[in-house]
Amino acid sequence: MSRQLISSGSPLEKPIGFSRAVRIGNVIAEAGARLDDIIRTRIMLTDMSRWEEAARAHGELFSIIRPACTFVEVKGFIRSAWLVETEADAVILTATSTVKD
């Protein structure tokens, strides 16, 4: 299986040693997936008292898809103005993945 690194273009990627996303086979973050391919999200907040705002935004995208989800509070991000960060894991099952309830 090949490994595809997805870059945001940040000059920090190489010195720090990270990619914005990585695709190996059908497991990915941002390389050709659709929302209904997402199986897990992690929502990181600097202020947990604002979880309802983040949950509402998450629900606008994922209320039908309903991936596994975790909310965690973090001390901060590299930029102090950032309040929330979301990570997502996706698996492409077929070219026409659909959500079934």
Q: How many domains does the chain have?
A: 2
Distance between CA atoms of 46 and 77, rounded to whole angstroms?
8
Which residues span the domain enclosing 19? 1-32
* 95 in the same domain as 57: yes
* 101 in the same domain as 60: yes
Cα atoms found within 13 Å of the Cα of residue 44, Cβ hemisphere only: 10
| Buried/exposed code over 50-65 (b: 16+ C-beta within 10 A; e: otherwise) | eeeebeeebeeebeee
* 51 in the same domain as 20: no
Distance between CA atoms of 30 and 53, rounded to whole angstroms?
24
* 27 in the same domain as 41: no
* 4 in the same domain as 53: no
Give the distance between the most distant pair of CA atoms in the chain.
44
pLDDT values of the chain reduced to their tens digit, one per residue, 101 residues: 778 888 888 887 888 888 888 888 776 676 677 888 889 999 999 999 999 999 999 999 999 999 999 999 999 998 999 999 999 988 887 655 455 55
* 44 in the same domain as 25: no
